[in-house]
Structure 1
Amino acid sequence: MEMQGEPRHAGMLAGFPAVAGSLDAAPEAPATAAEDFGHLISRRPLAVLRPGSAHDVAAAVRWAARHRMPLAARGQGHSVYGRAQVEGGLVVDMSSLGAVRAVEPDRVVVDAGATWQSVLDATLPHRLTPPVLTDYLGLSVGGTISAGGIGGMTFRRGFQSCNVIELEVVTGSGDLVTCSTMRHPELFDAVRAGLGQFGIITRAVLPLVPAPEQIRLHTLTYRDAPTMTADQRRLLTMDGIDYLEGAIRPHSSGWQHVIEVAVGLPGDGGVPAGLSDDQAQAESADMSYLDLFRRLSQLENQLRSTGAWRHPHPWLNSFLPDSTTDAVIVELLRTLDPLELGEYGRILVYPFLPAHARTPLLRLPEDDVAFLVNLVRFPKNDPSLANDLVEANRVVYDRVRAAGGRSYPVSAVALTQADWKDHFGPAWPAVLDAKDRFDPRHLLSPGQEMFPPR
């Protein structure tokens, strides 16, 4: 084992097992792992493990279990509220396990720390793609499968956690287990959208589907949110559409409502008929399939160049039933100051069909149609404002629950165990059982604040 730096508390790391990777207790490593993309919560770990293999992860978890030390896996550090942090414990930096192992005609084998960008870079030369991609490809495979993973193809193909063939997982007891719908299905169902509570995903086998080389992206503009969502419902049932999203953005006139629809080429590539958008403002652009998903990388580069990438990000993510979506959005727009979102902020509005979701712990509204509604904020760099917006998130969260909605629990909002119990609803007994079975000492992912340590 390579030990980097001088541990702050060397005695606490005594007897740490030999690993192929490295254990870093130098001050800068725990300091880096104490922060995330949200820059709202800071919890400093004792040390950071960069594993060289899944066996390193298993050995570290077994050691942590013996010493009752909390442990959290960290992918690309894109959490917004300390979910992958751990005070005084061990952070496992999964980015060191980032290889794409094999691309086959119908699947790809990938380490959990790999980004979706690296997966796509490996599969597109074969004209193949994972069925669902997130808008931002800099997220890790293990991280989004652990949360759910949603994007512009979810309306047709479900979530990323629903599109998994097999997983390799280290449980909270330190066992290295391969699981699927046929092998250890209880673990497979627990770790997908399990928020890191029951095991650490170390490798994934993902399905692949044909990828179009070129797509035509239509941007449609609407006068208000109900007109926009009405057309999104129509588009859900139309054939020939490969990608469907929507957003409400701050505008000089107040708010701008847009839908993005992509269709694969060759084909007529036209806008579906019978929609209610402002046709004079409609825009269309042809681009490669890869460029469709690189658009946020351009925004990232711009934000990094100005330093805004490191500002607080008090984001809120939620799922709303079709029956109450319009009312909640209209109320949000009535009470929300566009300045709170910032120059680059927006409200994302994606329709999808809950019936396509095949992930038991992914809690969704009960309507036949549901909407993702996300407050993506890039406010000015003011910690006081950021804290105020986190408090405002709680008000919106409660409004969503009252409207029959669910949290997409990757948000900047503090949740109590009572909140988690309400979130999982009838699945809560299964959550309790899985925690006791797969993480009996309750050591994994304490940043979720779902379970007290034992």
Structure 2
Amino acid sequence: MNEARSLPLTELPPLDGELSLDTEVRAAAADDFGHVVERMPLAVLRPGSVQDIALVTRWAADNGWKVAARGQGHSTFGRSQVDTGIVIDMTGFGDIHRVGEDHIVVGAGATWRSVLAATLPRKLTPPVLTNYLDLSVGGTLSVGGIGGTTHRYGMATDNVRELEVVTGEGKVFTCSREENTELFDCVRAGLGQFALITRATLSLVAAPDRARRYALVYPDLESLAADQRLLLRKGRADHLQGSILAPDGRWRHQLEMVVFHASGDQPDDDAVLAGLADDRAQAQIDDLSYREYVEAFDKFEELLRTTGEWANAHPWWLTFLPGSAAEETAAAVLADIEPQDVGVHGLVTFYPLTVDAIRTPLVTMPAGEVVFTFNLIRFASTDTQQVGHMLEQNRALYPRIRAAGGVVYPVSAFPLTPSEWEEHFGARWPVVRSAKERFDPAHCLTPGYEVF
């Protein structure tokens, strides 16, 4: 018997969109970019209005089913999947509603690429962009959203002015720092536990004309981190990241810095690089248009699609380490893994952030003024044993990261138990638990995180 056919559809009021029971549609919603977890939903809602989302969410809650919103499907561990409920396909909510002088209003299913398509002709841009532009706005804001400018502007969630959401009770609210503040603070980086984002008003800043990009090579992690700390302290970099790659089977340490500038006003390279201890003979300096800069990841995606790795499993592991223990902890982990543990074109990212720039209440950070991202961006082969090995490593790494005072970024391909989630949120846990009971008392929303 097809389980989806048992849904009491006669109890559901007429919809503006469609509730699909089609097997192929449901199967597509049972997978994601991670290709690690598979959960078959009972049905997939393609909403024609916010009211559709409210109706179906309330209907699901009344019947004891789960609901999850799916944007572009780029979760790495089944977070937007439901095996006993409804997946809401948000791709139809990709409209650009309005572009103002310093803000843009978009549907939650819009991608950052479509946001830029609307803002760049007006010489405007969001302050923080994810490296990969085809993530949905709603999905990004549900977890935080980190980019190369986060050290200066915080997370994407720190640059949101207003949200339209649907709570677990199927109620539609507008929330902001001035209106329904508690809900606004819970929904941003709230992992979809309290409400589903349907529309967002995002802050915009002036887009620079050009981006001067410096790729600097270092002999080891310690010297890379020392220069990253210097650049962070001096405020020289508009974009600051770093990576550890193994193109020849040995770890290679690289700093990536970008300085924005106006056309005809190129930065002084000597001043930008003064005091840095990189191997200057290997430095690569490029001057790009701002569009070329924000689309830089596209070339990497094209390569991975060519090799087939884009379609393989992605058991990514993303964390934040306290600045006081970042180099020591990262070096110890790298000493215990091999380059093949991240895949042929995989990489490790490692770079500092200023905690004061991150103001979203539910974004959990280690103690200290400076933290480092430490991510294993894994691209697995088709070997299922390799995928299993990577997932086992993720689990084994968790207590090591926690013992060092670090925290996991919730988009990781890694399951946390409810008690581990309580530990993750720490002092914020009572707020999280109270908000769940207030806004999603049936506990129907976004079960993939397994928070409750």
Same fold (TM over 0.5): yes
Shift of 1:9: 1.4
Shift of 1:185: 0.5
In the other structure, the counterpart of 2:441 is 440
Between the aligned partners of 2:308 and 2:55, the Cα distance in structure 1 is 38
Residue type of the alignment partner of 2:438: R
- List aligned pairs for 1:21-170, cutoff 5 A: 21-170=17-166
Between the aligned partners of 1:353 and 1:361, the Cα distance in structure 2 is 17
Q: Deviations over 1:124-168 (max 9, x none)?
A: 001000010000001000111110000000011100011110000
> How much identity, in percent, do the aligned residues show?
48
Residue type of the alignment partner of 1:80: T
Q: Deviations over 1:314-373 (max 9, x none)?
A: 110000000110011111221111011112100011211111111111100111100111
Contact 1:7–1:25 under 8 Å retained in 2: no
Answer yes or no: is 1:315 the counterpart of 2:311. Answer: no
**Cα–Cα, structure 1 residues 447 and 104, in superposed 2: closer, same or farther, change >3 Å?**
same
Secondary structure at the aligned position of 2:19 is classed as strand
Q: Deviations over 1:11-49 (max 9, x none)?
A: 443322322222111000110000011111100001111
- List aligned pairs for 1:241-280, cutoff 5 A: 241-252=237-248, 254-266=250-262, 267-269=265-267, 270=269, 271-280=272-281
**Cα–Cα, structure 1 residues 74 and 11, in superposed 2: closer, same or farther, change >3 Å?**
closer
- List aligned pairs for 1:281-320, cutoff 5 A: 281-320=282-321
Between the aligned partners of 2:113 and 2:350, the Cα distance in structure 1 is 23
Shift of 1:170: 0.4
In the other structure, the counterpart of 1:3 is none
Shift of 1:7: 7.9
In the other structure, the counterpart of 1:13 is 9
**Cα–Cα, structure 1 residues 391 and 321, in superposed 2: closer, same or farther, change >3 Å?**
same
Q: After superposing the two structures, state which structure 1 stretch, 21-30 or 194-203, moved more.
A: 21-30
> Structure 2 regions of 5+ residues with no counterpart?
none
Count of residues paired in the alignment: 446
Cα RMSD, aligned residues only: 1.3
Q: After superposing the two structures, state which structure 1 stretch, 213-222 or 304-313, moved more.
A: 304-313
Q: Give the ranges of 4+ consecutive aligned residues of structure 1 lying more than 6 Å apart after TM superposition.
A: none
In the other structure, the counterpart of 1:373 is 374
Between the aligned partners of 1:273 and 1:313, the Cα distance in structure 2 is 38
Secondary structure at the aligned position of 2:390 is classed as helix
Residue type of the alignment partner of 2:231: L
Contact 2:249–2:339 under 8 Å retained in 1: no
Residue type of the alignment partner of 2:197: I
Between the aligned partners of 1:384 and 1:13, the Cα distance in structure 2 is 42
Contact 1:391–1:413 under 8 Å retained in 2: no
Contact 2:436–2:443 under 8 Å retained in 1: yes
Residue type of the alignment partner of 2:126: P
In the other structure, the counterpart of 2:173 is 177
Secondary structure at the aligned position of 1:422 is classed as helix
Between the aligned partners of 1:346 and 1:31, the Cα distance in structure 2 is 30
In the other structure, the counterpart of 2:348 is 347
Between the aligned partners of 1:54 and 1:353, the Cα distance in structure 2 is 37
Shift of 1:240: 4.6
Contact 1:7–1:26 under 8 Å retained in 2: no
Shift of 1:88: 2.3
Q: After superposing the two structures, state which structure 1 stretch, 325-334 or 196-205, moved more.
A: 325-334
Between the aligned partners of 1:229 and 1:240, the Cα distance in structure 2 is 15
TM-score by length of 1: 0.96
Secondary structure at the aligned position of 1:105 is classed as coil
Residue type of the alignment partner of 2:207: A
Contact 2:350–2:373 under 8 Å retained in 1: yes
Secondary structure at the aligned position of 1:237 is classed as helix
Between the aligned partners of 1:263 and 1:352, the Cα distance in structure 2 is 17
Between the aligned partners of 1:406 and 1:301, the Cα distance in structure 2 is 32
Q: Deviations over 1:209-257 (max 9, x none)?
A: 0111211111011010111011111111224522111000013261111
Between the aligned partners of 2:224 and 2:79, the Cα distance in structure 1 is 33
Q: After superposing the two structures, state which structure 1 stretch, 137-146 or 53-62, moved more.
A: 53-62
In the other structure, the counterpart of 1:194 is 190
Between the aligned partners of 1:355 and 1:167, the Cα distance in structure 2 is 23
